[in-house]
Amino acid sequence: MTLNQITKYLPYKAPFLFVDELTYVDDHSAEGTFFFKETSDFYKGHFKDFPVTPGVILIECCAQIGLVCLGIYLLQGEIEAKQDAKLKIAMSSSDMEFYLPIFPNEKVKVVSEKVYFRFGKLKCKVKLFNADGALACKGTLAGMFKQNSDEE
């Protein structure tokens, strides 16, 4: 499965897609980027005179690149075997620490390292770097993956 094919399986679309490019993925890690456009609605009120990307959006960006893209890669055999099946994804836990703000019109890089993947649960350590390459946040995310066909 190519990097472009992985992103096509993502169950998100704009304005809630936070993956511009998946740059690397293997059995143990994933990396990708996203550019936060100043026209995004959440900047209108967070904060009104000094817009900053909300932490929950940064967590979502980390989850989409570092957890979901990696999970799709790890499940690629099952996904390709059951093309009519729908992949269901749910975040089960997050523990993040924030160090630097991410501002409008900033491109971030997310790096993820798999902790474990078993029984449909993927747990990863993620890091998000700002446009200057400085660590903006890091933490641990976990999610559940299940693939159902319409008959199940």
Whole-angstrom Cα distance, residue 112 to residue 57?
17
Annotated active-site residue in 46, 82, 127, 138: 46
The token duo for 37 is 């456009």
Contact indicator for 90, 98 with CB cutoff of 8 Å: no
Is 28 a catalytic site residue? no
DSSP 8-state class, residue 98: E
Full DSSP string of 108-149: EEEEEEEEEEETTEEEEEEEEE-TTS-EEEEEEEEEEEEEE-
- SS3 of residue 107 by DSSP: strand
Show which residues are catalytic: 46
